[in-house]
Amino acid sequence: MPRLREKPLVAALICLSACAATTTLTSTWKAPDVQTITPSGQAVAAVFMSNHESERRAGEEALAADITNMGARGIPAYTIVPDEPRMSADAVRQKLKDAGVNAVVTMRVVGKDQRVTYSPGYVASGPYGGFGPYWGYGWGSVYSPGYLQSDTLVSVETLLYGLKDDKLIWASTSRTENPSDLAGLINEVAYATANAMVKAGVLAAPAK
């Protein structure tokens, strides 16, 4: 039996409903001795791990844009290391260092689940004693049938590495409900992660 080709995440997300996405962090970790990082002046490479090159590049561009919006200089990793999935970690690290990169943010989808919720139909007994009272009540309380609602939950792992000491600074896992597309997913996760890092003292709060 032929094996079905796995669809890229982008294609899968396009098929989801256009409901507003919501992201929550399900776990976080920070290095015990981490010092607060000021994004300004930092060159940060964005890595989106995917087996599909077009998806990887689109993800890195979206993530790099979010990093830049937070005050650093976001750089899609593929612009420095075009063949990153096929290169060794040592070779990638050296190329990034040679390009002046200070840190690396990686994102990787680690799960996609469906949640189905059933809302039952409902109708109440009316005032049947008289035509007048029932007429208005009947029109205002017509039976509404039950329905099933399916939500898609996408889990993403986000890591921040400092290249100077080759050290993990931050790790978190998030869950996003009904992302509309890849850029929206990354934007939601980046925003929620940055807020958590500020609260944890890992990232300096943006200047007002």
User: What amino acid occupies position 136?
Assistant: G
Q: Is-contact 174 158, C-beta < 8 A?
A: yes
Which is nearest to 109 in space by CA: 10, 3, 195, 28?
10
- Cα distances from 20 to residues 23, 55, 65, 114, 117, in angstroms, run 10, 22, 21, 16, 17
Residues contacting 128, CB < 8 A, separation 6+ = 134
Q: Render each residue's pLDDT in the chain as its tens digit; 208 residues.
A: 333 334 444 333 333 333 345 899 999 999 999 889 999 989 999 999 998 999 999 999 999 999 999 999 999 999 999 887 888 989 999 999 999 999 999 999 999 988 777 777 666 666 777 777 777 777 767 666 776 778 889 999 999 999 988 899 999 999 999 988 899 999 999 999 999 999 999 999 876 6
User: What amino acid occupies position 113?
Assistant: D
This prediction's pTM: 0.76
pLDDT number for residue 157? 95
d(CA 9, CA 85): 17
Can you tell me which residue has the tokens 């409900």?
A: 177
d(CA 35, CA 31): 9
Would you list the domain boundaries of the chain? 9-199
In the three-class reduction of DSSP (H, G, I as helix; E, B as strand; rest coil), residue 127 is classed as coil
Number of C-beta neighbours around residue 45 at 10 A: 30
Please give the structure tokens belonging to residue 14: 């396009």
pLDDT number for residue 185? 93
pLDDT number for residue 176? 94
Facing residues of 151 across strands? 115
pLDDT number for residue 207? 65
